Structure 1
Amino acid sequence: MKDPLDLLDTSSLLSEEERDIQATVARFLADRVRPHLPEWFENAHFPRELAPELGKLGLLGMHLEGYGCAGVGAVAYGMACLELEAADSGLRSFVSVQGSLAMYSIWRYGSPEQKQQWLPKLAAGEAIGCFGLTEPDFGSNPAGMRTRAVRDGGDWILDGTKMWITNGGLADVATVWAGTDEGVRGFLVPRGTPGFTTHDIERKLSLRASVTSELILQGVRLPESARLPEARGLGAPLSCLNEARFGIMFGAVGAARDCLQTALAYADARIQFDRPISAFQLTQRKLADMAVSLNTAMLLAVHLGRLKERGRIRPEQISVGKLNNVREAIAIARECRTILGANGVSLEYSPLRHANNLESVLTYEGTSEIHTLVIGQALTGQSAYR
């Protein structure tokens, strides 16, 4: 049956494998996740037991090669992110952080021993990872980080605090970035290491079905074997963030699509003045404008995915995708809420939950302002950061 929201037939741009992956993820979410999302959001709960189920589906680090990872293409990974965020941004965030930050940092910059120790367990969901870059006073400017690692004989001593870390309270291993006398370096910090503690952030209004934490490192002693040997300088963690931002541009499309599907179904069923509200011009204008934005965002995501598969994608192009698609998704979520009227503030319907979640997505992994400046620098050759 033709999807009325696929105005531009973007599904025809996908391979059979990509469509199969999308359908498999959608079926799993419909059966296992969607019935529980309002409760998880209301109770600020992320079920850790989902991790091995996601691993069994091959979703964790699915775009990486080897070590139990599926090794699928960029667009196939993106379509999985789309379906995950169509359910809830918290779920896509879990998969993004696990695969594109924690696992990718080890896969790209780790030693053979580190890869063998952690990647198979992370891919299977038997272990959970997190990525410690952001600090309480340094979000958009990670170069100013205060977390330090100093040599002590053959060991390293880490001190500092990381903030707003997805999966932090669940993680069995944290990739922690710290300043050293040799520049920024990455370290693998297993849970249970003396001096390493986590504190979950409570009373959130967004990403409630997700664990967000503070990482505290007080005199954490690590052997040299805990350092990521190939990570030298700030470019290493920033390259990991580009991997995660790529998934976000697809995920935002999923959130927007779910909102629009909800609003369209509601408008067809809601009767006012003896007619469904979908028959009124103002409602149709809202639906049409949102459908155009949704299809444009989808075309952008697929195009950038194909560039990534050919090894041709540039950081500023990822910034275009993240900036545009999240901005459009949050506008669609808010507009869909208006079609639902008072019912739209209930957890029975998804648009306001998505809108709340997208407030975080708009900010994390690069604020809209930062991505705007990345694009501005690409256009002018001038950096406006300082």
Structure 2
Amino acid sequence: MARTDAIVLGAGMVGVSAALHLARRGLSVALVDRRAPGEETSYGNAGIIEGNTYFPYPFPLKPSALLKIAFKQAPEANYHLSYLPKLAPWLFAYLRHSTTEAMFDFAEQMRPLFAASIAEHEKLMRESNSERYLRTNGWLKVYRSTRAFDEAKTDLDAIAAAGIAFEPLDLNGSMALEPGLSPVFERGIFWPQAASVSNPLGVTRAYAELFRSLGGVSLTGDARSLHKTDGRWRVDTSEGPVDAPVAVVALGPWAPDLLEPLGIYLPLEVKRGYHRHYRPDGNKGLNRPVLDAEVGYAVVPMEQGLRLTTGAEFASRDAPPTPVQFDRLMSKARGLFPLGEPVEAEPWMGRRPCFPDSKPVIGPAPGQSGLWLDYGHAHWGLTLGPVTGRLIAEMITGEAPFTDPQPYSAERFAR
């Protein structure tokens, strides 16, 4: 049996970052996952480090948008009808957190994390020699109609008041940034206070290698085997049992499989999402991620090709994939940019772990000494992994946290 100072369960961007920050503080750390680092949700995102984020993704309130979703015509959302009864309480809670007051609460409480996200990535990229993946040229959001652009004005005014930079653009200004686009839209917004990466899996693997260079150990094991023995946490791995006084749960959508048998019930749901890589049709390219605001997808230049990402799908976490959103958006996507043949035979599916208030849980687990939680990062696992890894490492080692962790406490759901 091996003894360490800390066990981190889950080797996505969030778990790798937490393990790395603990190792940097001199702890002996075992990083445990059933798969290699970065091969689940961390693989399939849009690659944007969203230092510009201010508001969360709200529940759609316009009747026209709700009708399109209800009749399964919306590219930005899909659902499995059989799952709606189980999902309903979470959806109603999500709706309550989409009020103006709740949106501003999110903005105030999450801003310290988003504001530090790019700097934390840049530090780790320098140390892990992975700066080749980083683009610091922002991202572009395009609006097919001026009406849709004007509807965003209230949010943009609040974002400007918070000091977050953005640049409204007309068609010509947008095309100057991305001449490969077709002029099928009217307005754009350029977000300079954001970065992106050309290979999220490559970045996660580079951070995992940096963790190992600091003496950390990566092991294959089943997190569900975690249990308390003689006051210490123990997990079974392919190398035998490992125990430690501290265990960090960074399992994203799989966290309930471990936590609920321990009596910890938190309102996590999963927004499934898909991506597929395409070859460009011709010699046009993209310089940065582009989001088609009204259709609800992103097209992103990646090392594997042009990554087309879908919006959210509400379904059981483990239900078979149903990538029907591609059928709804492909004609629009190909109208905006000349996408050629797909690189893979089938789309890839990932699972975003989401709490109804769109904030992660970062801190001690209720009623379980030595157990810590670092999950529920929703759409921002890539963005926030390093900064929440720093925060939880500061809390575990007794350092002064760089920001107040109270808004991310699991106890908020007990109120």
User: What TM-score bracket applies, with the shorter chain setting the length?
Assistant: under 0.3
More strand by share: 2
Indicate the structure whose relative CO is greater, using CA pairs within 8 Å and at least 6 residues apart: 2
Superposition TM-score, scaled by structure 1 size: 0.25
Instruction: Judging by fraction of residues, say which structure has more helix.
Output: 1
What's the TM-score, normalizing by structure 2? 0.24
